[in-house]
Structure 1
Amino acid sequence: MSPGSSLSIGEAVTSLLRDGMPVRFTAYDGSTAGDADAEIGLELRTPRGLAYLLTAPGDLGMARAYVAGDLVVTGVHPGNPYDALRLLQSHLRFRTPTASEAFVLVRGLGLSHLKPPPPPPQEHLPRWRRTVEGLRHSLTRDAEVIAHHYDVSNRFYELVLGPSMAYTCAVYTDPDRSLEEAQAEKFDLIARKLDLRPGQRLLDVGCGWGGMVRHAAREYGVRALGVTLSREQATWAKEAIDRDGLGDLAEVRHADYRDVLESGFDAVSSIGLTEHIGVRNYPTYFSSLRDRLRPEGRLLNHCITRAHNRREETGAFIDRYVFPDGELIGSGTIIREAQDAGLEVMHAENLRRHYALTLTAWSQNLVDHWDECVAEVGEGTARVWGLYMAGSRLAFERNEIQLHQVLAVRTGEDGADGFGLRPSW
């Protein structure tokens, strides 16, 4: 192809593939690539979609085009594109063009496509622009990014998460258990690890919609306090506590965990909060939770982890569309920081495969309630959720990320920890 000749989109795509296109690809200019008989297809429907792909290479450009509806995946439901993602991740391999090849490709497709279109409204600001909201993981900035994800719509979360309103990894005693049974088992496993008993005091930081608070109060007679940075979650949780008649035992506050002044708790649970803390803030985080505990009081830290302990930024799609400022690290770092804060680590458990099962159930809920979800939050946001949950499921299945529960205790000055010689849970 000469430098000045035009190029079809299908030709451009084909020229960049190492092993061919594993799905059928069609573009708005009428060109195609890949197997015409493939069950799964990609349709690039608009010039704007092409501009997204060219101006933000990688997962961000693909995500922008997909969320905006300019890139459509056929053969799968938009609420659960898992089969398409698995196929593409396993078999789609692009080669890196030389500078001269890249110039020819872009010129052949049209230089006008190098003007970046405005991103979809669901996209959060890039990291460097969030400094106007405060330093990373400051009180102000944490509140803003938590609202971005969790204050979407309580009704939307009810449809996707189910009656438990638990937005964390469930625990499946066997793979045929229902999502509700598995979420109940997760809360009860945490209660058993914490050795909760009637009359004790529990602090649940990052409590979400109050699932652990209500379970501890209802099933164990514990006086439970939960805190969340999401105003929508706090409102829903307070209504659920009243509805369940647990107001004398359970409380949820719209507050940061750093604002909790009470101490002497028998137990602290942190279920899905550590991902939002920031690794550099772990010393303060674990020290703060230790200070909330009485001697022999237990901490259960439940969070997504990496399969290694190297520092890595979260990918652009997750950071811009799902969890702004989220950070992950390996369980070794979690354990080290807890120990350095003066906590004795007693037990760690990896629930990686359980999270893949949990995401499978959430994805099915989104598919089953797709029309109502779209009516509630818009198709773009529903697409974000379908893509992110399917991609996360793949990551857990492939051991790219994990889920660890780490149980620790504030050991007394005399070395007493309150544990038996063997685990009781």
Structure 2
Amino acid sequence: MTTFRDRSDVLAELGTKLTIAEIIETLIDGPVPVRFTAFDGSATGPEDSEFVLEIRNPRGINYLVNALGDLGLARAYIAGDLIVHGVHPGDPYPVLRAIQSLKFHRPSALTLVTIARSLGWERLRPVPPPPQETLPRWRRVALEGLRHSKTRDAEAIHHHYDVSNAFYEHVLGPSMTYTCAAYGEPDWTLEQAQENKYRLVFDKLKLKAGDRLLDIGCGWGGMVRYAARRGVRVIGATLSAEQAAWAQKKIADEGLAELAEVRHSDYRDIAESGFDAVSSIGLTEHIGVHNYPSYFRFIQGKLREGGLFLNHCITRHDNTRTTKAGDFIDRYVFPDGELIGSGRIISDIQNVGLEVLHEENLREHYALTLAEWCDNLVENWDACVAEAGEGTAKVWGLYMAGSRLGFQRNVVQLHQVLGVKLGPDGLWNVPLRPWWNP
């Protein structure tokens, strides 16, 4: 059977120019799963496809040829050079599911020459990516310092979280909670599930009025305010200036200023210690796997003897794969983000002398959470575009829908790990069995 690759090599040998559709065929392994149409009038893929991907101009095919895979597709889509018909840009989950098996390969040298001749050599020169894309990792070193230095971490957090508080209000809803919710039932509302997540963390940490809590990477202060409303004294820390300002205003509006504080601060600059509990909800993804030992030692140093801590973060489904995120996630969503399996996290917690009491996987809960965030983006699309621009809104729809698919396919997971700082006698000061409701 003649494959698309075989045919393109034959055409190359004959000196035949390729249509855009034929170029697409040469870049994809196996059958094209959805319909592609192009500005030159050519098309490929099933005619009855529910979705049509329209390459509108030469820059669109330039992006695809020069960055094979998800990065090239994302560039063309975010820039408006690739239009996806049949799906709302706020939730492209259906089309991502349809193309989940799509694989690109690098064509032969002969075919690359034919592609260049077909498009024109000048049209294959790399063009600037959309403005939403950050620099590749190797260039960040020169401009922002070593990975996970305080300066570079601050820039990475700024890139992702300082989009616009109003934008996040539209997407996240009233809770302003940008981490996985905890659903009791699949039909719970997002707000029910987010409140339940804070309840779960609060109960696992065995907090009570008068206790002291440090919430690292506190975001807009959801956990800070939840605990303070129950009489706990809380310090939260975030590297996002916009998050800190929003959270401090919310704390004041709710009359919690005597109990709660959110600082615009690197967690490493928190001087206080002797906390009854430490929560880390959605921060570990940002600190770098090689920094786990120092991070968990930091937590240990902040806890009193017998104090509890909870680490809530996205993980890979095993402990063997690369820790680096894919090109799209690294350039558009989480610069310098790293993931590894829960086994590595638990090992590093244990290796600094903390004892792990319990862990659980909330993978399916995150898929449900992301579906609701996409629903919010669709419902508030015009307001989000007005606030942050269409390109940024597209980035978020693509990122959240793709992440939903990743959680459903067990590419990524979400683990909560509960631990304790033991005293020198090694004795527990907690009940023999779990004391919280799941």
Interval of TM-score (by shorter of Structure 1 and Structure 2): over 0.9
SS in structure 1 of the partner of residue 91 of structure 2: coil
Q: Following the alignment from structure 1 to structure 2, what is the Cα–Cα distance between the partners of residues 121 and 95?
A: 27
TM-score computed with the length of structure 1 as normaliser? 0.97
Give the alignment partner of residue 78 of structure 2, picking from 64, 67, 70: 67
Q: Following the alignment from structure 1 to structure 2, what is the Cα–Cα distance between the partners of residues 258 and 290?
A: 13
Is 1:376 the equivalent of 2:384?
no
Superposed displacement of residue 109, structure 1: 3.0
Superposed displacement of residue 361, structure 1: 0.3
Give the alignment partner of residue 124 of structure 2, picking from 114, 117, 122: 114
Structure 1, unaligned runs of 5 or more: none
SS in structure 1 of the partner of residue 100 of structure 2: helix
Q: What does 1:159-308 align with in structure 2 at a 5 Å threshold? A: 159-218=170-229, 220-308=230-318
Give the conservation status (yes or no) of the 8 Å contact 2:68–2:106: no
- Counterpart code for 1:242: A
What is the aligned partner in structure 2 of residue 332 from structure 1? 343
Give the conservation status (yes or no) of the 8 Å contact 2:17–2:114: no
Structure 2, unaligned runs of 5 or more: 1-10
Cα shift readout 1:297-351 (whole Å, capped 9, x = no counterpart): 0010000000111233210000000000000010000001111111101001000
What is the aligned partner in structure 2 of residue 103 from structure 1? 113
- Counterpart code for 2:196: E
Q: Following the alignment from structure 2 to structure 1, what is the Cα–Cα distance between the partners of residues 196 and 124?
A: 51
Cα shift readout 1:120-141 (whole Å, capped 9, x = no counterpart): 1000010011112111100111
Cα shift readout 1:136-176 (whole Å, capped 9, x = no counterpart): 10011101110011000000000000000000000000000
Give the conservation status (yes or no) of the 8 Å contact 2:279–2:309: yes
Give me the identity figure in percent: 64
Q: Following the alignment from structure 1 to structure 2, what is the Cα–Cα distance between the partners of residues 418 and 2?
A: 74
Give the conservation status (yes or no) of the 8 Å contact 1:410–1:417: no
- Counterpart code for 1:356: A
Aligned length: 423
Superposed displacement of residue 5, structure 1: 2.8
Change (3 A) 1:2 1:267: closer
Q: Following the alignment from structure 1 to structure 2, what is the Cα–Cα distance between the partners of residues 236 and 21?
A: 46
Q: Following the alignment from structure 2 to structure 1, what is the Cα–Cα distance between the partners of residues 120 and 380?
A: 41
Give the conservation status (yes or no) of the 8 Å contact 2:12–2:111: no
Give the conservation status (yes or no) of the 8 Å contact 1:40–1:76: yes
Superposed displacement of residue 94, structure 1: 4.3
Runs of 4 or more, structure 1, over 6 Å off, are none
Q: Following the alignment from structure 1 to structure 2, what is the Cα–Cα distance between the partners of residues 136 and 392?
A: 24
Identify which range, 304-313 or 276-285, moves more after superposition.
304-313
Give the alignment partner of residue 334 of structure 2, picking from 289, 307, 323: 323
SS in structure 1 of the partner of residue 219 of structure 2: coil
Superposed displacement of residue 37, structure 1: 2.6
- Counterpart code for 1:23: V
Q: Following the alignment from structure 1 to structure 2, what is the Cα–Cα distance between the partners of residues 325 and 65?
A: 23
Superposed displacement of residue 96, structure 1: 4.8
Q: Following the alignment from structure 2 to structure 1, what is the Cα–Cα distance between the partners of residues 12 and 304?
A: 75
Structure 1 vs Structure 2 CA RMSD: 1.2
SS in structure 1 of the partner of residue 64 of structure 2: helix
Q: Following the alignment from structure 2 to structure 1, what is the Cα–Cα distance between the partners of residues 428 and 362?
A: 25
What is the aligned partner in structure 2 of residue 356 from structure 1? 367
What is the aligned partner in structure 2 of residue 80 from structure 1? 91
Give the conservation status (yes or no) of the 8 Å contact 1:54–1:113: no
Change (3 A) 1:82 1:343: same
Give the conservation status (yes or no) of the 8 Å contact 1:295–1:412: yes
- Counterpart code for 2:178: Y
Give the conservation status (yes or no) of the 8 Å contact 2:324–2:336: no
Q: Following the alignment from structure 2 to structure 1, what is the Cα–Cα distance between the partners of residues 400 and 284?
A: 19
Q: Following the alignment from structure 1 to structure 2, what is the Cα–Cα distance between the partners of residues 15 and 208?
A: 45
Q: Following the alignment from structure 2 to structure 1, what is the Cα–Cα distance between the partners of residues 270 and 105?
A: 52
Cα shift readout 1:202-228 (whole Å, capped 9, x = no counterpart): 00000000000000111x210011000
